[in-house]
Amino acid sequence: MIILGIETSCDETGVAICSDFKILSSYTKTQSIHQKYGGVVPEIASREHEKYLPNITNKVLNDANVRFKDIEAIAVTNGPGLMGSLLSGISFAKGLAQALDIPIIPINHLEAHLNSVFIDHSELEAPFINLLVSGGHTQLWLVKSMFNYELLGETLDDACGEAFDKGAKKMNLNYPGGPEIENLAKNGNKDLINFPRPMINDNSFNFSFSGLKTSLINCVNEDNYNFQDIAASYQEAIVDTLINKFIKAMDKFSVDSGIICGGVAANTRLRKKLSELDKKIIYPSMKYCTDNADMIAFLAEHKINNKKINFDNDFSAYSRGMIT
């Protein structure tokens, strides 16, 4: 089956073609325009999606040597995400589906992330603990099998990517803040400032990063430390907090394998610390960690294959919401 996937939940415009569970071609445009504002501007993000979707779709079709009339279904992210961005992708997908007279499959962005590891690791078998760490989410999931997931915990306030982004902004660094802080931290002392490791002693699998961000702001305002040391110590606190809950979840549910996805999974300090533990940790390849349409088309094909789909083009976007 040939499926065209569309992802526009935030500031990445992604289009991909999946056929027989293989990605034939894909393209993701990261909207760099937001950098000068220090964060994603929702109104601009929607316009950018609308502007680029037609050309990206043509490119992806050409690259795969697939014609419009070969497409058998369209998969599109319908939530959670920024409302305007989602609607740009959905409107484009609906128009195309109607013109081609083919079905359209709404896909939950989080469910797509959870399954993205299977795109290039088809040999893997659940159960896993999946730590989903992006600019908008920090969640711990028990993945029992494809289509069978349990949310164990999530952030009660800021996402960990947001903690990186907001911390970076306070230190006058560019957006996105994660790579900037990571870079600055290389020359800093991670043990100099004892930032809090929020909620690591409670029994839940929830997280909280807004207090940590406030500690950083206080530290910057005090003017006693250089930014390299602040960055290194701050990164260490975020990484320790994530690892603490991730490993606790693996132990509690006696699950051998852990998966990390989302943009923060790129963090080399996180990877280094995890590699020092006696645990099997798997990372989807980087292009599948960050937002992409490959995972949208891929999950849609699995849903069709497993008859988990009611074809009904009458759906809309939702900004918040769980996997149903």
Q: Return the number of the residue (130 or 267) whose C-beta is nearest ligand KG4.
A: 267
Q: Is 77 in the site for ligand KG4 (CB under 6 A)?
A: no
Shortest distance, position 252 Cβ to ligand KG4, whole Å: 26
Q: Is 111 in the site for Zn ion (CB under 5 A)?
A: no
Q: CB under 6 A: which stretch of 84-92, 176-184, 295-303, 308-316 binds ligand KG4?
A: 176-184
Q: Is 11 in the site for Zn ion (CB under 5 A)?
A: no
By CB under 6 A, what part of segment 134-173 binds ligand KG4?
134-136, 161, 164-165
Q: Is 229 in the site for Zn ion (CB under 5 A)?
A: no
Q: Which of 178, 188, 198, 284 binds ligand KG4 (CB under 6 A)?
A: 178
Q: Is 103 in the site for ligand KG4 (CB under 6 A)?
A: no
Q: Which of 167, 177, 198, 284 binds ligand KG4 (CB under 6 A)?
A: 177
Using CB distances below 5 to 8 A depending on partner kind, what does residue 164 bind out of Zn ion, ligand KG4, none? ligand KG4
By CB under 6 A, what part of segment 254-273 binds ligand KG4?
262-264, 266-267
Q: Is 236 in the site for ligand KG4 (CB under 6 A)?
A: no
On the 0-12 / 13-18 / 19+ scale of CB atoms within 10 A, 263 is buried
Using CB distances below 5 to 8 A depending on partner kind, what does residue 61 bind out of ligand KG4, Zn ion, none? none
Q: Return the number of the residue (266 or 309) whose C-beta is nearest ligand KG4.
A: 266
For residues 248 and 207, the answer to whether their CB atoms sit within 8 Å is no
Q: Is 291 in the site for Zn ion (CB under 5 A)?
A: yes
Q: Which of 19, 85, 134, 233 binds Zn ion (CB under 5 A)?
A: 134
Enumerate binding residues for ligand KG4 (CB under 6 A). 10, 134-136, 161, 164-165, 176-179, 182, 262-264, 266-267, 290-291
Enumerate binding residues for Zn ion (CB under 5 A). 134, 291
